[in-house]
Chain A
Amino acid sequence: MAQGILVFIEQRNGQVRKSSLEALSEAARLIGNVGGSVSAVVVGQNVKGLTAEISKYKPAKIFVVDSGDFANYSTEGYAQAVTEAVKKADPAFVFSAQTSMAKDLIPRVAARLDAPIATDVTEIKSEGSSLTAVKPMYSGKAYGVYEFASPLVFLTLRPNRFALAAADAGHQAQVEDLAVAAGNIRAKVGEVHAAKGQTIEVSEAPIIVAGGRGIKGPENWPVLQNLCDVLGAALGASRAVVDAGWIDHQHQVGQTGKTVSPQLYIACGISGAIQHLAGMSSSKVIVAINKDPEAPIFKHATYGIVGDVLEIVPKVTEELKHMNGKN
């Protein structure tokens, strides 16, 4: 009988994604209701060393698929590996973080196992041993509550929405090697080009400082970047400035950009168009800085400042530096 929760742990370049550990934390929180135990699967080359970190979030078991075949991500290779792990663990649920890898991979695995999938889940509720998943629809203008009639269900969880559990260095998960032949990989990943100048990834950042047309021109990005630096924040952008060529699409937040749920989102010179809100309205705290008091963003802001972003942001940065200096 299918039981328990298996969590797909994503790694790139030997780094475990924080959002995968969030999914693992949520699995540990729910397991009492679901029954069975939590297991994890990690795929790649030379990834065995990652089990120590994964173990801290208390899975009972970690499946490791470690081979040169998985040095690069490929849909078919990874789908094969995860499918084998699911067959071995025979869970009732498979969790993963909703990342670009997950968008490519997890539905493919679900299809292979004829199982339903709810993606970009923002809340999971338990009713007896069954789970219901809450996820945004219509760009967050509504939320759907989904129920499942299947012995196996896949859920991908929105990053930053599920709290990371306290790490327990004392916990020792059982580690099991899984030998998987990747099979015929028809679409191979060759090169990977790192995005220019990006240090902190927008979709996982706990704080985002985002700029729109109100920053006047690309020469003013350093004004926002300085604020990012003191806050340890990622730089976000509206579509208008991406389309204008002021910044790379990687930074775009919204309907046709990234969906984010940070603790703090500072919107600088962004009007708050519905398609921008689609990507960031589930942020915990929203700060809007805009010179137009009628800008729609103010209706969604926790704190609003009416004024010129190029005057206010440097002052805020200064104030934070001053405060940090005193600590």
Chain B
Amino acid sequence: MKIAVCIKSVPDTEAKIKVAGDSKNIDTADVRFITNPYDEFAIEEALKLKEKFGGETVAIAIGGNEATEVLRDSLARGIDSAIHVKDAELENLDPLSTAKILANVIKEGGYDVVFCGQQGVGGDNSAVPSMLAEFLDMPQVAMTVKLEVTDNKFKAEREIEGAHEIVEGNLPALFSAQKGLNEPRYPSIKGVMAARRKEIAVKDANALGVAGNFSADKRKMRLKQMVMPPERPQGKLIDGDVDTQAKTLVKLLREEAHVI
């Protein structure tokens, strides 16, 4: 079985985010980049499928230097090989462009399964997996929380409001991973050592045959400005004994905030 996992390097979820001087990027000084948390579930599920069926796993990332470490992290967890799409022209892509480029990388590979994280914590779009499935002409299950594969058939469970939906079909297919799918393993020391020796194939826009197609002026969606969230006004601390606190709270919610 041949399995592709799309991964993204993102700022640590604990990181303080500051808008850079150009007001279009974040200030990356002091920011540690990590594997997108949802991609960890995707990597784990790929490794589990390989353990069961044998075959090959490939991690694919688009990004600058920060993506290298994250690809090493995938290799250290046990992914067999990595492809790094790295080109100044392909930075800060919108979901449509990202999906097209990933499809370009994946299309000829003959993959049986493609995994993505359900959302990249950064752009917070959760749009790439479904767009990618369309470009690959594969069926998909977004926000997968359970997956069983037997004889090229899959049975997946996805979360919807107030319920779980069971989706069945044949491979090849694309799945986006949601928390709950599995418990991601950590890289082992042995894995980290082995990862250093594995090669990461680097491809630029020329190698992919897309040079000029995704330059900033060709993109259909552009970040005009990044702004900090509005400051919340200073809150009120409610004093007194428990009875007074409860009474005051109800009064404030009703008469000041008008929310009950």
Chain B CB within 8 A of A195 CB: yes
Interface-facing stretch out of B12-20, B59-67, B188-196:
B12-20
Q: How far is the CA of A323 from the CA of B253 in the complex (A)?
A: 12
Which residues 237-260 of B sit at the A interface, judged by CB distance below 8 A? Answer: 237-238, 242-243, 245-247, 249-250, 252-254, 257, 259-260
Which residues 81-119 of B sit at the A interface, judged by CB distance below 8 A? Answer: 94-96, 99, 118
Report A226-254 CB contacts with B as 1/0, cut-off 8 Å. 00000100000000000000000110100
| Inter-chain contact A287/B249, CB cutoff 8 Å | yes
Chain B CB within 8 A of A108 CB: yes
Measured CB to CB, the nearest residue on chain A to B132 is: A111
Q: How far is the CA of A56 from the CA of B158 in the complex (A)?
A: 32
Q: Collect the chain A residues with CB atoms within 8 Å of residue B169's CB.
A: 186-188
Q: How far is the CA of A242 from the CA of B249 in the complex (A)?
A: 28
Contact of B163 among A140, A192, A263 (CB under 8 A): A192
Expressed in whole angstroms, the minimum distance between the Cβ of B108 and any Cβ of chain A is 19
Chain B CB within 8 A of A285 CB: yes
| Inter-chain contact A145/B227, CB cutoff 8 Å | yes
Expressed in whole angstroms, the minimum distance between the Cβ of B11 and any Cβ of chain A is 7
Expressed in whole angstroms, the minimum distance between the Cβ of A5 and any Cβ of chain B is 17
Q: Collect the chain A residues with CB atoms within 8 Å of residue B38's CB.
A: 256
Expressed in whole angstroms, the minimum distance between the Cβ of B36 and any Cβ of chain A is 11
State which size class the interface on B falls in: 35 or more
Contact of A139 among B95, B121, B249 (CB under 8 A): B121
| Inter-chain contact A315/B226, CB cutoff 8 Å | no
| Inter-chain contact B165/A305, CB cutoff 8 Å | no
Q: Chain A residues in contact with chain B, CB under 8 A?
A: 12, 73, 75-76, 79, 99-101, 103-108, 110-112, 114-120, 132, 135-150, 153, 186-195, 198, 201, 203-204, 207, 231, 249-250, 252, 255-257, 263-264, 274-275, 278, 281-282, 284-288, 298-307, 311-312, 315-316, 318-320, 323
Q: In the complex, given contacts A117-B95, A301-B235, what are 10 additional A-B residue pairs having Cβ atoms less than 8 angstroms apart?
A: A12-B160, A79-B134, A101-B160, A111-B99, A138-B121, A198-B162, A249-B179, A264-B253, A281-B232, A303-B253
